[in-house]
Chain A
Amino acid sequence: MKRRTLVTGVGKGLLAAGISGLLVTSALSADPIKIGVVEHKTGPLAGGEVVTHTPNIELWVSQVNARGGLKVDGEQRMVEIVRYDDKTDPAEHIKAVQRLATQDEVDFMLSPYGTGFNIAAAPIYAKYNYPLIAVSAITDKIPELAKRFPNMFFTLGTTTGFVEGVRDTLTKMRDAGAIGNKIAMVNVADAFGIELADKARPILTEAGFEIVYDKSYPLGTPDISPVVKGAKASKPDAFVAWSYPPDTFAITEQAIIEDFDVKAFYTAVATCFPAYAGKFGSKINGSLGAGGVNPDTPAMQEYRKAHKEVTGKDADYWASATYYASLQILEQAIEGVGKVDRAATIDYIKNNSFDTVLGAISFDENNNSERYWSVGQWRDGVFRAVADVGMGDSVAAVAKEGWN
């Protein structure tokens, strides 16, 4: 008797709330949109992924879900992330992507960290028709890749674009009389470092620079001092290191210790990390590096503020914003199509322009967005773009005035 009363009571209550709340109930009961991502939680690339990718996924998901989810099929669907760790191992990575597609049957996937991983995973994305908006993938093979994988999009530029950014920065500084034409160049003996150095040799030489020191060092070198001493002894006007995160830190520290005083000092990956400024403080004022952003646009300021609030960390001054933009593109494409239809989403990305933190982004016939910053310079705690492709808002680089 008691139970029946309770049940009827609840039943009446539900009925009362029922009709007016019908829409709410159906929205709450809608399945979430599942989005898969294979991350490098451990292994050599973990330190980069956790700065550039992970916080942006957290930020984006919290923002999308805070406003009720994505509008699909006339209802609001929350976003749910399915993630795997690949230990920075390509074989594990492929297996996990396959698993996301066939076992978890996720609706969409996010792009992985690292050029090699994007290219390695591209065939599986293509096979199951997932759009792959690659960010941390810099290569000159974009036309070939886009032909083979029509679902693959590129946002962060080409190897040549990056080298040309350095060339243009140095050329302008030379024309302004800040530096001469002697360059000391070193590179890490690993994929990206070797590719950049190979491109840089002819490009810098053609621009009238003389490469007076040109050496590579193995990945994970425990003592970089012979390299920095050698570069310093060659008495260059500019120093360029195509380096990875740990050696970017090591080379800079050694340059400070050696008081390697050049007017243009460039290190590649991780110069844009907040941790770089955290480690060296004001000493790196005037240092050049890969990436850079225009910190002055309202969209960028709003993004950096939200990033700090939601994740508790500062965004890096390069691919962080681009990765966030890739999520915005995916979001706008899904809502633009209005249903979970991956083939239609790919078409939508190809044929539309997107409003992102980087400004308007659209893709050319090679699925490439020719809008990116390529060289940044630390100026009073902010890493400002001093060279770009298609952005048009970078500032002129200034000569570095010692390590103070």
Chain B
Amino acid sequence: MDILISGLLLGGTYALMAMGLNLQYGVARIMNLANGEMLVLGGLSAFWLFTASAVSPLLTAIIIAPLSFIGNWLIYRYLLLPLVRRSKNQGQLEVDSILATFGMSFALVGVMVSIHGEYFTYSYLADPLSVFGSTVALNRAVAFVAAVAIGGALYFWLNRTYAGTAVRAVSVSAEASGLVGINVDRISAFAFALGGAVTAIGGTLISTFITLDASIGVLFTMKALIIIIMGGVGDIRGAIIAALILGLVETAVATIVDPGLTLASAYVIFLAVLLFRPQGLFGRRTT
């Protein structure tokens, strides 16, 4: 029971890390290597507002959502759209966006170091919560609930609304979507901005239980990449399921076998998925 609950909570954390990048990569086709930094930036805001003026990180998450949406929209509009326009194919766009966002990640790290170079560590909702007899941290449980809410809302929006359908269409084929009258640039900018906002919200919540620092973003980018590649690029369901699988397996291995093998187990699953389902759990086979 401990394994199940701790594992699900960890999975929720992973989902928070990965959903944003999934939108950015899956729809806007931007392989955003600065995604982890965006997450840490969310964490930094939460830390800073909490220690300076005792603002609850949950409130920070609500404040940060529109701000990061606007920030990411501007980034897409003015830094990335020129790359999208000039690239002749998906491969070139990937190389260009990797280079551009890699550079951006350094700039963001520099900004964060100049704001606060130490660990972003504070205590918020670090209280025990008993779930079916298993003790968990309240802040993790809150993050899990938020992950479920965000994941559910995204899934509903993508699959049940007109705008969401347009987003999915762009993720399937930008060219064909353009032909049927979808404003691809606008949808891509929207998806990128939304992805950034989801990531930043994730960061504010994650900072309540993981000690972040300005340079730690790359670890989150890597984890998010593994999850979305496992789940299938562009599929929100896939990212959530992959995140939960990773969380459950890591917790099970740590509890039953040895905590030292969690990383190894994560990569074994990743390899297995790549070997037997290279397009990801819910991915479409490219034709």
> Which residues of A are interface residues toward B (Cβ below 8 A)?
41-44, 46-47, 50-51, 54, 87-88, 186, 189, 215-218, 220-223, 225-227, 229-230, 245-246, 249-250, 253-254, 256-259, 270, 273, 275-276, 278-281
Best-surrounded residue of A186, A189, A217 (most CB of chain B within 10 A):
A217
User: Given A218-B263, A257-B135, do A225 and B119 touch, yes or no (CB 8 Å)?
Assistant: no
CB of B122 within 8 A of CB of A216, answer no
Task: Provide the main secondary structure of the chain A interface.
Answer: helix
Which chain B positions have C-beta within 8 A of A254?
A: 137
B140 to chain A, nearest CB (A): 8
Partner of A217, one of B136, B137, B247, B254: B254
Q: Of all chain A residues, which has the CB nearest B134?
A: A229
Binds A, one of B19-27, B81-89, B172-180, B206-214: B206-214
Interface residues of B in 64-123 (CB under 8 A from A): 109-110, 113, 117-119, 121-123
Q: Of all chain A residues, which has the CB nearest B110?
A: A42
Q: Of all chain A residues, which has the CB nearest B252?
A: A226
CB of B214 within 8 A of CB of A226, answer no
Given contacts A229-B2, A254-B137, A275-B121, 6 further A-B contacts (CB under 8 A): A42-B109, A46-B213, A216-B258, A225-B136, A230-B259, A249-B211
Partner of B113, one of A46, A189, A220: A46
Binary interface encoding of chain B residues 193-219 relative to chain A, with 1 for a CB under 8 A from any of its CBs, else 0: 000000000000000011101111001
Partner of A41, one of B9, B113, B255, B258: B113
Q: Of all chain A residues, which has the CB nearest B13?
A: A222
Binary interface encoding of chain B residues 215-228 relative to chain A, with 1 for a CB under 8 A from any of its CBs, else 0: 11001000100000
Q: Of all chain B residues, which has the CB nearest A215?
A: B259
Q: Of all chain B residues, which has the CB nearest A254?
A: B137
Which chain A positions have C-beta within 8 A of B262?
A: 217-218, 221
User: Given A47-B117, A257-B128, do A225 and B137 touch, yes or no (CB 8 Å)?
Assistant: yes
User: Given A215-B259, A275-B121, A280-B123, do A223 and B10 touch, yes or no (CB 8 Å)?
Assistant: yes
Which chain A positions have C-beta within 8 A of B135?
A: 257-258
Residues of B in contact, count (CB < 8 Å): 43
Best-surrounded residue of B110, B213, B262 (most CB of chain A within 10 A):
B213
CB of A50 within 8 A of CB of B117, answer yes
CB of A253 within 8 A of CB of B137, answer yes
B133 contacts partner chain A, Cβ-Cβ < 8 Å: no
Q: Of all chain A residues, which has the CB nearest B135?
A: A258
A259 and B126 alpha carbons, distance in the complex (Å): 12
B132 to chain A, nearest CB (A): 15
CB of B213 within 8 A of CB of A217, answer no
CB of B109 within 8 A of CB of A275, answer no
Which chain A positions have C-beta within 8 A of B137?
A: 225, 253-254, 257
A261 to chain B, nearest CB (A): 13
A268 to chain B, nearest CB (A): 15
Which chain A positions have C-beta within 8 A of B250?
A: 223
B188 contacts partner chain A, Cβ-Cβ < 8 Å: no
Which chain A positions have C-beta within 8 A of B109?
A: 42
B135 to chain A, nearest CB (A): 6
Q: Of all chain B residues, which has the CB nearest A44?
A: B215
Pick the 5 closest A-B CB pairs, nearest first. A226-B254, A50-B117, A217-B259, A246-B211, A249-B211
Which chain A positions have C-beta within 8 A of B251?
A: 223, 226
A67 and B136 alpha carbons, distance in the complex (Å): 56
CB of B213 within 8 A of CB of A227, answer no
A254 and B137 alpha carbons, distance in the complex (Å): 8
Which chain B positions have C-beta within 8 A of A217?
A: 254, 259-260, 262
Which chain A positions have C-beta within 8 A of B259?
A: 186, 215-218, 221, 226-227, 230
A–B Cβ pairs within 8 angstroms, 18 of them:
A42-B110, A46-B213, A47-B118, A47-B119, A50-B117, A217-B260, A220-B216, A221-B259, A222-B210, A223-B10, A226-B3, A226-B255, A229-B2, A246-B119, A249-B211, A256-B126, A258-B135, A278-B121
A43 and B262 alpha carbons, distance in the complex (Å): 23
User: Given A217-B260, A226-B259, do A275 and B254 touch, yes or no (CB 8 Å)?
Assistant: no
Which chain B positions have C-beta within 8 A of A280?
A: 123
Q: Of all chain B residues, which has the CB nearest A41?
A: B113
B45 contacts partner chain A, Cβ-Cβ < 8 Å: no
B162 to chain A, nearest CB (A): 37
CB of A279 within 8 A of CB of B263, answer no
User: Given A220-B219, A221-B259, A227-B254, do A253 and B123 touch, yes or no (CB 8 Å)?
Assistant: yes
A257 and B126 alpha carbons, distance in the complex (Å): 7
A215 and B257 alpha carbons, distance in the complex (Å): 10
A315 to chain B, nearest CB (A): 13
